[in-house]
Amino acid sequence: MADSIKGLKRTAYCAEFNMDNVGQEITVFGWVQRQRDLGNLIFIDLRDRSGIIQLSFNEKSDKEIFEKAKSARTEWVVAAKGVVAERESKNKEIPTGDIEVMVNDFRIVSVAQTPPFEVEKSEGVGDDVTLKYRYLELRNEKLTKNILMRHKIAKIARDYFYDNDFIEIETPMMIKSTPEGARDYVVPSRVHNGKFYALPQSPQIYKQLTMIAGFDRYVQLARCFRDEDLRADRQPEFTQIDLEMSFVDCDDIMDMAEGFIVKLMKETLGVDIASPIARMTFDEAMNKYGSDKPDTRFDMLIEDISDWADKTDFIVFKNAIADGGAVKAIVAKGGAAKYSRKKIDKLTEHAKGIGAKGLAYIRWADAEPNCSFNKFLKEGELDALLNQLGAEQGDAVFIVSDKTRKALSIMGALRLIVAKELGMIPENKWNYLWITEMPFFELDEDTNEWVAAHHPFTMPMEDSIQYLDTDKSKVKAQAFDLVLNGCELSSGSMRITDTKLQTKMFELLGMEQEEIDAKFGFLVDDYHYASPPHGGMGIGLDRLAMLICGAGSLRDVVAFPKVQNASELMSGAPSYIDGVQLDELGIALLEKKDENE
């Protein structure tokens, strides 16, 4: 039978004690991480959410207490009361390593079965096991710290925005389905048979309505849902620090967000972030880094060598340029030693896997550079290129030719791969960056049609509106992204508040008036009752926590994550529901035919 904790009250968490507490009697609760039985001495590492403290038992201990300590096993829940003493054998690996508790009252509160894996070494166990027993894995010190850090980030966010006069307003979790770029998760209605709610991809429409309602500054730690393929930095449900402001422009919103970032980094990591945060236009980011979320912690910028390439006899380059494309290059300083021919072949296969037709290269390991297309060059042309690029002996140069946008995208991806392989990316460096002057439309190269690059409520730049019907490539959005070390944390924009312009935007998206009225009529109607100029942004709390914690995946900062097929291994979600529920909802399931039949 388990012992009661009646009469015991926790003094503090395990890791909160130090040498200043020596001689004090304390009470601690927690889980047994390890028990060491040395015969006449027993030590127990007691763990709670704060960390570990050592419990000590010896021949002077009460016999019953000593026997209980002897029986204690990993992951049992126990309570201990005793006097803090200085340890003879100190452990510099933990904050409480200078002290121990000489136990005079020990209780076994709950007995555990042998766990399916060792909690403190769960990193080496497969996801199929750890995620099935996620509540055990969360006891791991690293994951516990991540969840506590996520909590701290959320608290700092609330404190900061509350102090700046923002009002926290909860928006509905069951809403009308509206197009926002990804598939909706839908919820059938029992009362309104045949109709469905959608789980919000974002609170976008509702937070705009709070501005029209006059609340002026809105904030919410909003739960969002998107039915899309998962990856390391994406979950089907996520949280964003969502805000909206009235009577502002883009600079005001960005300045407000910067204040939060500066406070956050100081209070979580003790890091001072320079303000104002650097800004870069979308076009500059794409041309220099091949990405709209560039990692600026290292150089190796993309160079345009189209003018040089067009003068050569290399038909691959010339054809790309003739088709309106470009030839792009990166110089991997000191890369010749790393990139043997075998390694270059592997990099070429990777480039082809992301859409490249091939990968040209120059490897300058010896006195004379080895160029993969040298036979197509006239005398002096290779030297001219190396001089233009600033390449030296010991360097490697990689070149891609294609449609300009595609070539840039490929080179941007290769830039990151090469930098990682050469160890060029510094640790503990926090490069925040604003991306501005975003394109309003983007060209779908498969259909050769212009499609919206943002949600339909994004305000175009005033001097771009004239090009909406004539040249969509010239239309810029009053939109901006916040990037950290190559990871997009946030998107924001000013919103359309003019009924005619909003209707125009819907029409440009290919929507008929009937569809506009059905999906967005209530929002367009609200504009008739006067809307203040407003805008906002949503900062990804999960991604922010992932980066601050140095985690490799969102799973490491989410308490109960989904796996790649969007299932949750612990609870077994999603699951079938019974026929009674289906009948109430008016839903009939179609039998899925076996693909092998």
Please report the pLDDT score of residue 503 as a whole number. Answer: 84
Helix (H, G, I), strand (E, B) or coil at 244: strand
pLDDT, average across residues 212-232: 92
Question: What pairing do the DSSP bridges indicate for beta strands 167-168 and 77-86?
Answer: unpaired
Task: Give whichever of 151-155, 174-178, 446-450 has the largest mean pLDDT.
Answer: 151-155
Mean pLDDT (the chain) is: 93
Q: Residue 5: exposed, middle, or buried by beta-carbon count in 10 A (0-12, 13-18, 19+)?
A: middle
Question: What are the structure tokens assigned to 482, written together?
Answer: 């916040």
- Calculate what percentage of the chain has a pLDDT beyond 90: 83
Helix (H, G, I), strand (E, B) or coil at 523: helix
Asked whether 294 and 433 are in contact (CB, 8 A), the reply is yes
Tens-place pLDDT, residues 115-160: 999 999 998 899 899 999 999 999 999 999 999 999 999 999 999 9
pLDDT, average across residues 58-70: 94
**Amino acid occupying residue 221:** L
Alpha carbon 313 to its chain centroid, in Å, reads: 45
Please report the pLDDT score of residue 179 as a whole number. Answer: 65
393/363 Cα distance (integer angstroms): 9
Please report the pLDDT score of residue 412 as a whole number. Answer: 97
Tens-place pLDDT, residues 417-440: 999 999 999 988 999 999 999 999
Q: Dihedral through CA 80, CA 82, CA 83, CA 87, nearest 10?
A: -50
Question: What are the structure tokens assigned to 504, written together?
Answer: 């125009």
Judged against a pLDDT cut of 70, whether residue 181 lies above it is answered with: no
Please report the pLDDT score of residue 453 as a whole number. Answer: 83
Please report the pLDDT score of residue 442 as a whole number. Answer: 86
- Scored b (16 or more CB within 10 A) or e, 475-486 reads bbbbbbbbbbbb
Nearest to 242 by CA among 264, 273, 218: 218
Please report, for residues 327, 345, 346, 376, 384, the alpha-carbon distance to residue 370 in angstroms, rounded to integers and kept in the order given: 19, 14, 17, 13, 15
Please report the pLDDT score of residue 596 as a whole number. Answer: 46
Tell me the angle at which helices 404-421 and 282-289 cross, rounded to the nearest 10 degrees: 60
pLDDT, average across residues 304-325: 95
Judged against a pLDDT cut of 60, whether residue 593 lies above it is answered with: no
Please report the pLDDT score of residue 374 as a whole number. Answer: 95
Please report the pLDDT score of residue 597 as a whole number. Answer: 41
Tens-place pLDDT, residues 84-124: 999 999 999 999 999 999 999 999 999 999 999 999 999 88
β-strand partners of 379? none
Judged against a pLDDT cut of 90, whether residue 525 lies above it is answered with: no
pLDDT, average across residues 556-584: 93
Residue 1: pLDDT band (50, 70, 90) is: low
443/183 Cα distance (integer angstroms): 21
Neighbours of 514 (CB within 10 A): 9
Please report the pLDDT score of residue 231 as a whole number. Answer: 78
Tens-place pLDDT, residues 466-522: 998 889 889 999 999 999 999 999 999 999 998 888 888 888 877 788 888 777 877
Of the listed ranges 160-169, 181-190, 283-292, 306-315, the least confidently predicted one is 181-190
